[in-house]
Amino acid sequence: MARWGMVIDLDRCTGCAACELACKSENNIAPVAPDQAEMGRAMSWMKVQVEIEGDFPDTSMHFFPRPCMHCDNPPCIKVCPVEATYIDDEGLVGQIYPRCIGCRYCANACPYTVKYFNWYGPEWSDSERRHLNPDVSVRPKGVIEKCTFCHHRLQKAREDARAEGRELREQDYQPACAEVCPTAAIVFGDLENPNHRVAQLKDDPRATRLMEELGTQPKVYYLRTRE
């Protein structure tokens, strides 16, 4: 059984935010008005956070792409009163939009704050509406949404592999962010499969995980040179 995970090489990340944009268009993430974004209501399943260190002029900038950590021990699924957020056999943490009651308990329980709430119903301009991804359901107002590691792509890849009578290959299932990253800083695959790059990279001496001490067992690894 696969255990899907991601390795993000921060030494390679240029902060271009292509992953953010690719994610938004792949997953039909509704844009919000500037005043709403100002209030902290912008949605970005993948978010490149910027850390600025030091005082001017000796400053350095670090970029930190942050998807859902797809924890093996996710705090969000325990607190959901209706089992609208769940972890599947392959370690993907998903959200059932038609069941979610919008209590936002999972959003509070997530230490990485990766859960987004639809404060209003989604709105698109006509041109955007025509380009919505038919493989991803559009969320109504009042429910939580989050990064899914593009699990709709896994379904499709698996069907293709079955139709062609072969095993699923590493390149068959890649989330939009990993696919689009120009410096290949985002690597995705099966952490249990020794042939996948993530399985090797996660053991890199530069590898860390976010807030490992909480015991959430994130499946997103970060590579960063220690200074």
Partner 1 sequence: MTEDERVILRPLVETSKRFYVVATILALIVLWGMIAYFLQVRFGLGRTGLNRPEYWGIYIINFVFFIGISHAGTLISAILRVSKAEWRRAITRSAELITVLVIGFGAIQPIIDLGRPDRALNIIFNAQIRSPLLWDVVSIGLYFVACTTYLYVPMLPDLARIRDLGIKTPRLYRFFAAGYTDTPSQRAVLERVIGVLSIIVIPIAVSVHTVIGWIFAMTLRPMWHSTIFGPYFVMGAIYSGIAAILVAMFILTRVYHLERYFKPVHFDYLGRMLLLFSILWFYFTFAEYLTVFYGAEPAEMRTFWAKVTGPFALPFWTMVAGCFVIPLALMARRATRTPRGTLVAGIAVLIGMWLERFNIVVPTSVNPIWELETLGRYLPTWIELSIMAATFAGFVLLYMIATKFIPIVSIWEIEEGRELSVKEVSERVAGYLPESAVTTVGGEA
Interacting residue ranges for partner 1, rule: CB under 8 A: 36, 38-41, 47, 49-50, 75, 78-84, 99-105, 107-109, 111-113, 115-121, 141-144, 210-211, 214
Burial class from Cβ neighbours inside 10 Å (0-12, 13-18, 19+) for residue 98 reads exposed
- Distance separating alpha carbons of residues 168 and 158, to the nearest angstrom: 6
* Shortest distance in whole angstroms from residue 204 CB to partner 1: 23
C-alpha–C-alpha distance, residues 65 and 19, integer Å? 8
CB of 226 to partner 1, least distance (A): 19
Nearer to partner 1, 33 or 184 (CB): 33
What per-residue string of b and e applies to 207-227 under the rule 16 or more CB within 10 Å gives b?
eebbeeeeebebbbbbbeeee
Q: Whose Cβ is closer to partner 1: residue 132's or residue 214's?
A: 214
Q: Which is nearer to partner 1, 20 or 190 (CB)?
A: 20
Residue 99 vs 169, nearer CB to partner 1: 99
Six token digits for residue 216: 């959430």
Nearer to partner 1, 75 or 192 (CB): 75
Q: Give the list of residues 6+ apart from residue 67 with CB closer than 8 angstroms, or none.
A: 6, 23, 45, 46, 114, 147, 149, 175, 177, 220
Shortest Å, Cβ 78 to partner 1: 5
**Helices marked H in 104-224:** 105-109, 126-130, 151-163, 176-180, 197-201
Nearer to partner 1 (CB atom), residue 104 or residue 206: 104
Cα 15 from chain centre: 16
User: Minimal distance in Å, beta carbon 192 to partner 1?
Assistant: 26
Identify the burial level of 171 via C-beta atoms within 10 angstroms of its C-beta, where 0-12 means exposed, 13-18 middle and 19 or more buried: exposed
**Smallest separation (angstroms) from partner 1 to the CB of 73:** 11
**Contact present, 174 and 152 (Cβ < 8 Å):** no
